[in-house]
Amino acid sequence: MELSRRDRIALAVGAVALLLFILLQFVLFPLLERRQRLEKGIATREQALVEMRQMQERFRKLHRQNSSLSRQLARRDRNFSLFSFLEQQASATGIKQNIAYMKPSSVQGDGAVRQTTVEMKFKAISLKQLVSFLEQIEAPAKLVAVRRISIQENKKETATLDVILQVISIDQVATDGQ
């Protein structure tokens, strides 16, 4: 079967196009797709590595803080009681007689620490007395802080306040060896 020159050129162009299509479809495109997947995998792993480094740094920071907390707890008096500390500070600032109630509670935390909370209500204290008391009890060295405060004007006595304070502290949990 003899083909004309024009037919042979058309057949050759068709064969080259078919060969090019096969090469692109079954060789080049899968290679490019695989490379793209590998690049995405590398980017994902790099992101995971960055996150792990951030978590490692956060862990180190928390560990340093925990060590610092342990040192502060070790420096504090072993018989420290938040309830008695607050009572002493109320006496020192002259507002012990204004205490309506004191409610202690403690929550066991994870590990060797627990959080102790005391809710106090004062009736008819002046702003100056309140500020003085707050200055006395905010003691970072003793690991004592005010969590919440609610202040209302006393309706019976002028220029006085009714105050509800929630004060927290962190204590070491006594183990059998202590």
Structure confidence by residue, pLDDT tens digits, 126-141: 999 999 999 999 877 7
Residue count of the chain, please give it.
178
- Strand intervals (E) in the chain: 99-108, 113-125, 144-153, 161-172
Residue 157: how many other CB atoms lie within 10 Å:
13
pLDDT at res. 102: 95
pLDDT at 178 over 50: no
126 bridge partner residues: none
The answer to whether 169 and 144 have CB atoms below 8 angstroms apart is yes
Specify whether the backbone of 159 is left (phi greater than 0), alpha (psi in -120 to 50) or beta.
left
